[in-house]
Structure 1
C-alpha cells in the first residue's frame, strides 16, 4: 500500500512538473540540476508511478449484472436493419442556402419506421440499441415507439447509463418483460420491486385481464407512492374506465396532490352515471337554461354564471383561481359545464338534439364560453354526436358556422369521429377553404391519408402552385404530405415535378421551387414504400 511519504513525494513531483524546475526545486530524489533537471524529473515521476500502481490493493470485484432478458420477438430482415442504421445515423446531407433540396428528410421518417416495426412484432438489433436510446433521449416524440421497440433489453441496458434514465420512468412501460398476469406471486413481486416503467406496464396488463385485481394492486401501495407516480397510475385508468372505478376515484378526490385530485375529478366526470357527474349536472343546469325573458317568438339560451366557488365545488375538481385574464365567474361556469354529462342538455333545453342546441343563440355574449365548455365535454366524454354539432358543416366558414370557430378545438373534436368520417370532413373543408387553415386538422387524420383526403391536399397544392406564389407558406402541409400521403400517389404526382412556365404576376423562380418540393415529395413517398417492403416478413 502506498505510504503517506510516497503520497507527499508524488505531490512534490507533480508540483515541480507543473511549475517547472526553474521555479520549483525538485525533491531530493531528482539529483540532476540545470538543463538535465527536467528529464530527470520525468524519469523520477515514471519510476514513482510504477511504484504507486504496484502497491495498489485490488478492490473487491463488483457483483456481475443479471443477464439481459430474452426477447422472443422476430429478428429484423437484413434490409430493414440496414435502413434503421441509416435512419439513426441521419445521413441526409443538409442542402446549401437553407433549401431542403429533393432528398427525403430521414429524421422525419424514423417515427413512422418504428411504428411499422412495432406493428410487425420485430425486436431491436442489439448493436443498434445504444443509437436508438440516444435518439429517444434527444427527441421525446420518439420515446413511446422507441421504448416499445427496444423492449425489455432496452430497459436492462438503460440501467447502466445515466443518460438513458428517461427509459426507466417512461409511462409506456418500454416494452418491459412482464410475468404471466395469472401468476399472482410474480405480479405482486414486480409491483412491489419493479421499476416505475415496469409497474405502469404491469398495471395496464393486469387491468386488461382483471380490472378488480389491478385496483387492488393500486390501492395496496397508493398511500406510499410519490405524487407524480400516483398521477401517472391514475392516468392509466383512462383505458377501460368503468363505473367500478368510481369508489377509488372518489377517494382520490381528497388526495394531497392537486393534480391527482383534478385528474380524479376529470375521470369521474367521464362516467355519466357517477355521483360527481350528477353533482356537476345539477350545478350546470342551474346556470344554463332556456331564456324566458323574451317575447317567446324565438328560443335562446340564458346563462347565469356562479357567484362563488364553494368548498364542495373545489372538492369536485373546480379550480377556484382563474388564469390571468380570465374572469372568475366565466372560469367557474366553464368547469361546471365541461364536467356535466352532455345528456342533460336535451332535457334541459326542450328535448332538442345536439345540432339544434348548438344552433340556439346564447344571451348576453356567453355563446363563446358555453360552446368552448361543450367542446371540452364532448372530448372528455368522447361524444361523436356533440362533436359533429360543434364542428358544423365543413363547407361553412368557421366564423359564421353554428359551432366553434377555433381550429384547435375543431382538430380535437375531429379526433372523436371515426377515421373515414374524419378524413372526409377535412377533405371537404380543404375543398371549400383551401390549405391555409387546414394544417391542424390534417394532423389528426389517420395515416396514410384516405384517397379522397390525399387528392384534396394534392389538388389544393396544385392550385397554389398555379397561382404563382412561393411554396414556403405551404411547407408545413408539404411536410405532412411527405409523411402521410399514401405512397401509391407517387406516380400521379410525377406530372407536378416538372418546372411550370412562369405566368404573368408569378413570383420569380417560384416554379422551380415548386418543382423541387414535388420532387422531394415523390422521392419520400417512394422511400416510404421501400421501407414498408423491407419490413414485410419473409415469405
Structure 2
C-alpha cells in the first residue's frame, strides 16, 4: 500500500497504538484524540485513527515461515457405506436436539438416540465412514462420551489424522491406544522391549494391553522386568491390565505384588487372585471365611450361624482385607464381608452339608447376619461370574422381594443378571415385570441384550399398556419408553398399531395422560420402523431408500 497519509488520515504517524487504546478506555469526552480534523466528531475520528493504525501494524509484519504441509490422510481399506446408509448417517448427525428436556416429547423419533445403534450396526458390517461425515461425527462424539468408542471405530484411522489438526478433537487421540501412536508388532521382540523401556506411559499401557490380549505371558514378563522401578500409580494401572487374559499362570507374579508398598496395588492384586478360585490366596480366604460361617443343626431346622472375625491380622491385610471400615459400618461385619467375598463359592457346598447354592441361600441365618452374608455372596458371584450362585441369589422373579431370601438390592440384581446367558436374563426380567411392573425395572432392562427377546418385549409393552389403562402419571414411564424405542425388536411395530388411538380417560387419570400415551406409542412405532429401515439400508445390497420416516406408516412398511 502507499505509505503516504491520505485525506482521511487524521492521526499523526507518531500516534502510538497504546495512546489510541488509552483514549478509548478513558472515553473521548475525557480525552480527545490527537489532531482531530475540524468538524469531525471525536469518536469517529478515534475509530478512523484505530483503523489506519491497524493497517499500518499489519503491513509492517514480516511473513512467517511457511508451515510444513500435513501428511496425507491414511487410506481406509474398508468398503464404503451404501448410498442410502450414508444419507441416513447425515440425517442422524444433523439432528442435535438430543430429545426433549422433559415433559412431552411429541411423536417424532429422537434421531440422536438412534445414532449409537446405527454405529454399532455399521461397525458390525465393517463399513468405512464417508470422509465428508467425519467432522460431524467427531463433533457428535466430542459432546457425548458414550458415543466415542463406536464413533472412533467407525471413523477409522482418519479420525486420528484429523484429531492431530484440530484441538477440539484431541479426545480421539486420548481414547486411542497409546494416544494414537503406532504400536510395534508383538512378534518384533526388540521393538517391543525398546518401546517398553523408552515409551510414554500411554504408549506403554497400550502396548501391555495389546500383549495381554494376544500373548498374556509375554505381557506379564515384560511388566515383571521393570516392576521394581515403576512408580506406584503406574504399577496400579499396569496391574489392572492383567484382568485381560487372567489365568493361573499370573498367580506367582500377583502373589509377589501382595507385598507391594502401595496399599492400592496390594488390594488390586488380592482382587485378581480371588478371581482365580484355585489360587493360594483364594484357599487362605476360604479357610478364614469358613471359620466364620457354620451350619447349626441343634434347632428344629438347620440354620447358618455367623461368628465375625475379632481382629484384622497382618496376614488378612496382606491378602487385601481393608482394616478400616467406611463410616457407619462395624469393623467385624466389614471384615466378614471381605472374607466371604474373596472365598471361592465352591467352598460352601462342603462346609454347609453338601447343599446346592439354591439350598444354601434358602437357609435361615441367625442373629441378623443374613443381609451381610448374602450381600458378600452376591459380590463373590459377580466377581467369579458364577451362574449357579447368581441364579440362586436372584431367586424367583415372582417372589415378593424378587431377589431371593437375601433381600438382594436392585443394583446387585442387575450385576447378578449379567452372569446369566442372554436368554435366561431376558426371561427373568420378563417375569419380574409381569409380577412387579415397570417401576423398578429400568436398571434391570439395561443389562438385557438388544434387541429384546420376544417375551421380554411383550412384557414391557403389556406393562406400558396396563399403566396407560390405569391412568398412571405418564411421564414416570418416559425412561422405559425411551429404552423400548431403542431395544424392542423392530418387528414388533405391527402389533403396536392397536395402541396408537387416544384412550378414554378415567376420572382419576392424570390430566392429558391419554394424549401423551398416544403420542408416546406413536413415537415408539415410528422409531421401530425407522430402525427397520436403517437395518435394510446397511445391508450390502440395500435397495434405494425412501424419504426418512417421520410419521407412522402402514403395517406393511414395517418390513
> Fold match, TM over 0.5?
yes
Alignment of 1:129-144 (within 5 A): 129-144=134-149
Query: When the two structures are aligned, how many residues end up with a matched partner?
Result: 530
Distance 1:241 1:371 in 2: 26
Judge which range, 404-413 or 211-220, deviates more: 211-220
Residues 33 and 45 in structure 2, CA contact (< 8 A), matched pair in contact too: no
Residue equivalent to 1:475: 478
Name the structure 1 match of 2:372.
369
CA distance in 1, matches of 2:178, 2:454: 35
Match of 2:16 in 1: 9
How far apart, in 1, do the equivalents of 2:219 and 2:245 lie? 12
Counterpart residue number, 2:209:
204
Counterparts of 1:146-161 in structure 2, within 5 Å, are 146-161=151-166
Structure-1 separation of matches of 2:198 and 2:157: 16
Unmatched segments (≥5 aa) in structure 1:
1-5
Once the two structures are overlaid, the 10-residue window that deviates more, 144-153 or 249-258, is: 249-258
Alignment CA distance shift 1:228-1:163 (3 Å): farther
- Match of 1:244? 249
The alpha carbon displacement at 1:168 in A equals 3.0
Aligned to 2:346: 343
Match of 1:112 in 2: 117
- Corresponding residue for residue 69 of structure 1: 74
C-alpha contact 2:370 2:406 (8 A) present in aligned 1: no
Please tell me whether the aligned partners of residues 404 and 410 of structure 1 are also in contact (alpha carbons under 8 angstroms): no
Distance 1:484 1:418 in 2: 18
Deviates more, 1:111-120 or 1:9-18: 9-18
Which residue of 1 is the match for residue 537 of structure 2? 534
How far apart are the structure 1 equivalents of 2:126 and 2:181?
A: 14
Moved more, 408-417 or 169-178: 169-178
Of 325, 333, 336, the residue aligned with 2:336 is 333
1:101-500 equivalence runs, <5 A: 101-170=106-175, 178-188=183-193, 191=196, 199-220=204-225, 222=227, 229-291=234-296, 295-398=298-401, 401-500=404-503
Distance 2:533 2:389 in 1: 41
Do 1:151 and 1:177's aligned partners in 2 also have CA atoms closer than 8 Å? no
Tell me the CA shift for residue 54 of structure 1: 4.1
Which whole-Å CA distance do the structure 2 matches of 1:510 and 1:33 have between them?
74
Q: Distance in 2 between the 1:533 and 1:198 partners?
A: 40
Q: How far does residue 512 in structure 1 lie from its aligned partner after superposition?
A: 2.3
Shift in CA distance, 267/325, structure 1 to aligned 2, threshold 3 Å: same
Deviation at 1:415, TM superposition (A): 0.4
Residues 7 and 68 of structure 1: CA distance in aligned 2, closer, same or farther (over 3 Å): farther
1:501 aligned partner: 504
Structure 1 contact 92–104 (Cα < 8 Å) conserved: no
* C-alpha distance in 2 between matches for 1:48 and 1:228: 55
Q: Cα–Cα, structure 1 residues 252 and 115, in superposed 2: closer, same or farther, change >3 Å?
A: farther
Question: Per-residue CA shift, 1:271-293, capped at 9, x if unaligned?
Answer: 1122221221121112112236x
- RMSD of aligned residue pairs (Cα, Å): 3.1
Is residue 150–residue 175 contact of structure 1 (8 Å, CA) maintained in 2? no
Determine helix, strand or coil for the equivalent of 1:98.
coil
Answer yes or no: is the 8 Å Cα contact 1:392–1:403 preserved in 2. Answer: no
The 1:96–1:182 alpha-carbon spacing in structure 2 relative to 1, beyond 3 Å, is: closer
**Unaligned residue ranges in structure 2 (runs of 5+):** 1-12, 543-559
Give the Cα separation in 2 of the matches to 1:339 and 1:97: 44
Normalising by the residue count of structure 2, what TM-score does the alignment of the two structures yield?
Answer: 0.85
Deviation at 1:108, TM superposition (A): 1.6
Query: What secondary structure, in the 3-state scheme, does the structure 2 residue paired with 1:301 have?
Result: strand
Question: Partner residue of 1:3?
Answer: none
- Name the TM-score, length of structure 1 as normaliser: 0.88
Residues 153-199 of structure 1 deviation map (CA, whole Å, 9 limit, x = unaligned):
32333334444343333377788765543233454555566676665
The answer to whether the Cα contact below 8 Å between 1:152 and 1:177 also exists between their aligned partners in 2 is: no
CA distance in structure 2 between the partners assigned to 1:308 and 1:188 by the alignment: 45
Structure 1 residues 214-272: Cα deviation after superposition (integer angstroms, max 9, x where no partner): 22333345556665554444333223210111233233334455443322221111011
Shift of residue 151 of structure 1? 3.0
Distance 1:371 1:523 in 2: 44
Question: Alpha carbons of 1:445 and 1:205: their partners in 2 closer, same or farther (altered >3 Å)?
Answer: same
CA separation in 2, counterparts of 1:402 and 1:146? 43
Contact 1:172 1:197 (8 Å CA) reproduced? yes
Give the CA deviation at 1:436.
Answer: 2.3
CA distance in 1 between partners of 2:78 and 2:19 (Å): 60
Residues 375 and 408 in structure 2, CA contact (< 8 A), matched pair in contact too: no
Classify the secondary structure of the residue corresponding to 2:308: coil
